[in-house]
Structure 1
Amino acid sequence: MDVMSELLTTFDDFYDAYDETGSSSITFGDYIRSARRLERREGIPCNELELRKKFLEYDRDHNGRVTWHDFIMVEAVNYLKKLPNHEILRFLKPLEVDRLRRLFRHLDAANTGVLTVPESEKAYRTWLTSLDIPVQGEMIKSEQRASGPNHNRLITWERFIRNKALSIITARPNTRTLRPYLTSMEHHWMDS
């Protein structure tokens, strides 16, 4: 069994522990009851405020219910966030990589194989816009920071794709109920 199949099985078992009725939908009440049961049985601490935050993370459409799909998408992204950037690359599709490579090369007018930080942010913004994902909030702040002290820093294609891999995965159509994971300048360009 490959890693993703094992993860899906684990996430599925975890979801089933919360979906006591088998209705394929968890309410906050179900979530709290199951968390308290786990606390008693396995000694896992149960903080209602933390549980509410976690439930809201799963309940992306704010309807008070978490479906299996909602749950799996959030857990998969949380799993990927824990991996080093270079390991996330293996989950990218060739078409995603090719499309970003074309944008990167287009902005590399001198054909040097590197972009400045603002140019790399422009490539990323162009890619997001091509997917009809609004560029706002964190991304705008990221672009403003790109004009700061690191604006002359050069970014290779390898560093660019490695640092944007999780963002690419969370922008896929099947993850649209998730807020896109947008990297911020403080951490992603400084990673090796």
Structure 2
Amino acid sequence: MGVLMSKKQQVEKVQKCTAVVSAFQAGVRDRQAATKRAEELERGEGSAQPPANPEEKNSEEAEQEETDDSAGPSSSQQASAPTRDEYKVNREAWSRLRDGKGVEPEELDKSHQLTPPAFVRPKREADDDQPVEVELDKKEQPPSDEMCDVCEVWTADDLYPCRICTRVFHDGCVRELGYLRAEALQEMRNTAHSATGWSCYYCDNLNLLLTEEEMYSLMETFKQCKIIPESCLVSDELLQYRHFASKQQFDKDLTDEQEEEVLAQFAALDPEKKGHIEWPDFLYFESLAVLRKLRTENSLVRVLTAKERDTARSVFLGLGLDKDGTITRAECRQAQQSWFHNKDSQSCNVSISHVGPICESSPTSSGSERSKNDESRRMTWADFLRESAIYILAARPNSFAMHIRLPL
């Protein structure tokens, strides 16, 4: 509470200083005007010409200058606005893609919005692929922040916490930022304090986990496939995109079986049966595919937050641990599905074994025989966390779409 009072006192001091400075400046201007008028009267200029005339003349000249200034820019802007707007549309879309999801709701009033935060993409350190030690018997239990991440004001129960990080938000501040539509705001109010929880706009956007180099590679693929940012994709467009990617990576077209899998992926990303994939879901899906392809399991463990690690501890300890503190691979798969329990009610009717990116390293792509042989394999806490990291990250988005293949 002491931190909050200190913050309030600082704000009050700044407001008082601002008021004093404004009053002082106003007094100085009045004093200068009075001194100048007195000097003019002493020189006798007041008798030759009424003091009102110079002031009226100056005011007329000022009004004329303002009229000229306002007329000039408006005419030039009107002439160049259509061309400039058309030129910027595509460039701005690619710029927003590079900086993150960047989808701006059209129905929101932009005139009174707050300035969106600047997203900084992560950089991979030299030891990024080295094993990281996460203790099983030491819970981290990070407390949520006390003040809104946007306005830095504390209002107790009016703050909505993120279930992934420690940030908290006012619904009004999130609305003014323009990152959530009306229905998403209502979902935040309904789920933020529930067992399901709510992911803030930082954690909900899996694309922000990519480095500049990884994002550049993904953008180049989109451009080559003529994918327009912030647009929806129908099934034919997704098939065309997958055919191109397969041709680029493996120099061969998709087989009939792979095409069926792509259509199953499309259904998993369209749980409401709209007939198209929303842009954020497609972007999250592709971002996860990049992470699975270019990052090691140790690197993905480093991305997990303290809250996610605590959840993983609870799940692991809730399984039937052996005397040596290990579990079977079958129990690991069961735990990996638990991260998507809040999506089960609205998931599509497609088998979960067909949900996820086409990837040869996928847990279920190697056949049922290998899966049966691995079911009895014992796993330690470190093994469990490494193999589960990608599933924990895939469960971050608030969307009910399934962005990754779930284990059987």
Same fold at TM > 0.5: yes
Q: Which runs of 5+ in 1 are unaligned?
A: 185-192
1:145 to 1:165, Cα distance in 2 relative to 1, 3 A: farther
> Could you tell me the percent identity over the aligned residues?
21
Cα drift, residue 157 of structure 1: 0.5
Larger Rg: 2
Cα drift, residue 70 of structure 1: 3.0
Cα drift, residue 156 of structure 1: 0.2
Is 1:99 equivalent to 2:306 in the alignment?
no
Letter in 1 for 2:400: R
- What's 1:164 paired with? 388
- Whose RCO is larger (CA < 8 A, sep 6+)? 1
Letter in 2 for 1:74: F
* Equivalent in 83, 87, 104 of residue 299 of structure 2: 87
Distance 1:150 1:30 in 2: 33
Is 1:2 equivalent to 2:214 in the alignment?
no
Distance 1:102 1:157 in 2: 11
Structure 1 range deviating more: 164-173 or 57-66: 57-66
Residues 297 and 387 in structure 2, CA contact (< 8 A), matched pair in contact too:
yes
- Aligned residue-pair number: 172
- What's 2:281 paired with? 70
1:5 to 1:64, Cα distance in 2 relative to 1, 3 A: farther
Cα drift, residue 79 of structure 1: 0.8
Distance 1:30 1:172 in 2: 23
Structure 1 range deviating more: 147-156 or 77-86: 147-156
Structure 1 range deviating more: 59-68 or 89-98: 59-68
Structure 1 range deviating more: 71-80 or 165-174: 165-174
- What's 2:232 paired with? 25
1:5 to 1:137, Cα distance in 2 relative to 1, 3 A: closer
Cα drift, residue 72 of structure 1: 1.1
Letter in 2 for 1:89: V
- What's 2:329 paired with? 117
Distance 2:380 2:322 in 1: 13
Cα drift, residue 117 of structure 1: 3.1
Residues 26 and 65 in structure 1, CA contact (< 8 A), matched pair in contact too:
yes
Distance 1:71 1:53 in 2: 18
- SS of the residue aligned with 1:178? coil
1:104-144 CA-partner distances (Å, limit 9, x unpaired): 12335566332233443444444543x353797549xx8x9
The aligned runs of 1:26-41 (5 Å cut-off) are 26=233, 28=236
1:125 to 1:2, Cα distance in 2 relative to 1, 3 A: closer
Cα drift, residue 101 of structure 1: 0.9
Residues 238 and 266 in structure 2, CA contact (< 8 A), matched pair in contact too:
no
Q: Which runs of 5+ in 2 are unaligned?
A: 1-120, 124-209, 355-363
Q: CA RMSD in A?
A: 4.7
Residues 19 and 25 in structure 1, CA contact (< 8 A), matched pair in contact too:
no
Higher helix proportion: 1
1:10 to 1:149, Cα distance in 2 relative to 1, 3 A: closer
